[in-house]
């Protein structure tokens, strides 16, 4: 009996201990203020759902309530970081390597079937100038003749893949203090991309020069050799695109980057390149343009410490958080003005800074050209009569300041946000040169290529709607918006919290969001 009483007493105290903990945490969760956004992940947290009969009946109310409760836990960001530290204890890293997400062996897909060519109803008919295939030696070693008989305003149909399936992302790998996405590209997508660009050339006519720069990403240069099975060769895919171009001049950024891999041409904790990398790419463009390259020493280099980029949020890998890097940006010394416009109405938002230096440290890459969701117009003091349109995703942002010496005006169009007829717009602005600059992941993403194609007809004029309906989606650029509005000189009106088009968002239910390179910075 004595034993029994002893046991009961011991369990009584055990009960008090565990119950106290449970009650304490319950009260904390019930009473402490809840955050509404996460700095760590750069997104708005789930909102408290609105109760309606429909939302109850379809189950979304209780689902969203559950999500809200977990997503907005007090001290969330600290706990998520702590969770990352705990996760690190789950194992060890050999050679400092850790894989994140669904990584697989990618086979070079030479067998890719090129889908049938479907004639689209592109209005203008134009003679194509003899295809300019002056790709630099490194890129085209075995360049086949790119004269495609009968190629006119035709665009390869998107390969018959599931629309929701993204080829590009094959997981993320952390090697020491550098992380990057593994690449699983496809030749058919590359052909599609090239065909769309060719169609632009046809629509714009002989007098407009069309250039294409496809940018390799860090995985191409920094993946240890023993893991080469897990990432496709970006060079092969870039070559494939360049070989399929007709009348569009390729810009060999690859070789320039490849010869500077010892420098910080890519960010180590972010999926973007650095401005230095963009500078080297710009020299390839300048050479093709026949211009004297502006030396990097002309720029004012400014460094900021403690930058931790997007890949930490995507992987929650504490090693990334624990190795912040130096973010260096370069200010263009030549005089110029920058004006921002709304994409939907093309009304001016006022003049601003091309490089917004007050951007928060962890948002450093967002300092270039304001943000993706505004249309940027740069006027330089150069009077060479050349007016450039740049079609880009976020990789292009860091390139714009380096293009200033070579053009009189630069119109920057983000391919995800512009919704008007791009051909008409460029004709109206008397554009003389067009540059497509996309990273190889983007140039292999079907939904995005389709978007570029659609822009020829202006059939994507739905941006305002897209933005409005996706306002509650988690990926927003809200913090960037704040910083832009903070600059006195800039934007007159407050920018709405803009979001990416839905196709670039990961599916709602997918666990830790594995991004494409099109994610917001």
**By the criterion CB under 8 A, which residues form the site for other proteins?**
2-3, 6-15, 17-19, 21-23, 25-26, 29-30, 56-59, 62, 65-66, 69-71, 73, 76, 79-80, 82-84, 86-87, 89-94, 97-99, 102-105, 226-227, 229-230, 316, 509-512
CB of 98 to other proteins, least distance (A): 5
User: Is 22 or 358 the residue whose CB approaches other proteins more closely?
Assistant: 22
Q: Are 197 and 212 in contact (CB under 8 A)?
A: yes
Cα angle: 361, vertex 398, 250; to 5 degrees: 155
Minimum distance between the CB of residue 472 and other proteins, rounded to whole angstroms?
16
Q: What are phi and psi of 154, to 5 degrees?
A: -110, 145
- Between 145 and 225, name the residue whose CB sits nearer to other proteins: 225
Joined tokens for residue 108: 């070079």
Distance, C-alpha 164 to centroid of its chain: 17
The residues with which 250 forms a beta bridge, in sequence order, are: 212
Cβ proximity to other proteins, 149 vs 511, nearer residue: 511
Least separation in angstroms between CB 58 and other proteins: 8
Copy the structure tokens of residue 513: 């969001």
The residue (of 27 and 326) whose beta carbon lies closer to other proteins is 27
- How far apart are the two ends of the chain, measured CA to CA in Å? 68
Task: Copy the structure tokens of residue 512.
Answer: 């830790």
Residue 500 CB, nearest approach to other proteins (Å): 19
Question: Which phi and psi angles does 29 have, rounded to 5°?
Answer: -70, -30
Q: How far apart are CA 391 and CA 384, in angstroms?
A: 21
Q: Which is nearer to other proteins, 22 or 119 (CB)?
A: 22
For the chain, how many helices (H) and strands (E)?
16, 17
- Closer by beta carbon to other proteins, 36 or else 102: 102
Between 91 and 262, name the residue whose CB sits nearer to other proteins.
Answer: 91
List all residues 6 or more positions away from 153 whose beta carbon is below 8 Å from its beta carbon.
119, 120, 122, 124, 125, 199, 202, 203
3-state SS of 148-197 is: CCCCCCEEECCCCCCCCCCCCEEEEEEECCEEEEEECCCHHHHHHHHHHH
Cβ closer to other proteins: 61 or 221? 61
């Amino acid at each position: 009996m004595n034993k029994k009483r002893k046991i009961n007493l011991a369990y009584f105290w055990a009960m008090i201990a565990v119950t106290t903990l449970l009650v304490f945490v319950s009260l904390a969760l019930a009473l402490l203020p809840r955050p509404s956004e996460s700095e760590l992940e750069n997104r708005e947290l789930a909102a408290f759902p609105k109760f309606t009969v429909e939302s109850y009946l379809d189950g979304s109310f209780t689902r969203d309530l559950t999500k809200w409760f977990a997503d907005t836990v007090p001290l969330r960001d600290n706990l998520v970081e702590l969770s990352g530290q705990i996760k690190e204890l789950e194992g060890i890293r050999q050679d400092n390597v850790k894989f994140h997400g669904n990584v697989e062996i990618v086979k070079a897909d030479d067998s890719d079937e090129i889908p049938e060519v479907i004639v689209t109803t592109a209005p203008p008919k134009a003679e194509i100038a003899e295809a300019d295939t002056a790709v630099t030696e490194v890129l085209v070693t075995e360049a086949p003749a790119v004269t495609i008989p009968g190629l006119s305003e035709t665009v390869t149909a998107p390969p018959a893949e599931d629309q929701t399936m993204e080829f590009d992302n094959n997981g993320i790998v952390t090697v020491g203090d550098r992380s990057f996405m593994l690449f699983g590209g496809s030749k058919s997508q590359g052909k599609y991309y090239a065909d769309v660009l060719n169609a632009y050339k046809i629509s714009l006519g002989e007098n407009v020069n069309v250039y294409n720069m496809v940018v390799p990403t860090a995985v191409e240069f920094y993946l240890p050799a023993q893991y080469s099975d897990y990432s496709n060769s970006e060079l092969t895919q870039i070559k494939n695109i360049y070989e399929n171009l007709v009348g569009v001049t390729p810009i060999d950024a690859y070789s320039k980057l490849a010869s500077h891999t010892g420098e910080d041409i890519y960010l180590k904790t972010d999926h973007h390149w650095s401005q230095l990398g963009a500078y080297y790419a710009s020299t390839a463009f300048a050479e093709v343009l026949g211009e004297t390259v502006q030396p990097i020493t002309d720029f004012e280099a400014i460094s900021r410490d403690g930058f931790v980029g997007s890949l930490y949020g995507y992987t929650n890998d504490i090693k990334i958080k624990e190795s912040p890097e130096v973010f260096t940006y370069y200010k263009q010394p030549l005089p110029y003005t920058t004006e921002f416009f709304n994409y939907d109405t093309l009304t001016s938002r006022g003049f601003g800074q091309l490089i917004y230096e007050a951007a928060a440290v962890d948002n450093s890459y967002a300092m270039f050209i304001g943000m993706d969701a505004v249309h940027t117009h740069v006027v330089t003091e150069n009077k060479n009569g050349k007016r450039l349109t740049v079609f880009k995703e976020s990789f292009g942002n860091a390139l714009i300041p380096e293009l200033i010496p070579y053009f009189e005006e630069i119109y920057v169009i983000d391919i995800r946000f512009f919704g008007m007829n791009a051909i008409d717009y460029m004709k109206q602005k008397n554009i003389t040169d067009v540059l497509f600059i996309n990273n190889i992941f983007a140039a292999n993403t079907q939904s995005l290529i389709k978007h570029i194609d659609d822009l020829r007809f202006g059939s994507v004029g739905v941006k305002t709607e897209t933005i409005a309906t996706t306002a509650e989606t988690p990926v927003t650029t809200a913090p960037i918006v704040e910083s832009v509005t903070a600059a006195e000189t800039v934007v007159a009106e407050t920018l709405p919290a803009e979001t990416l088009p839905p196709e670039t968002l990961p599916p709602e239910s997918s666990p830790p969001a594995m991004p494409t390179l099109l994610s917001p910075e």
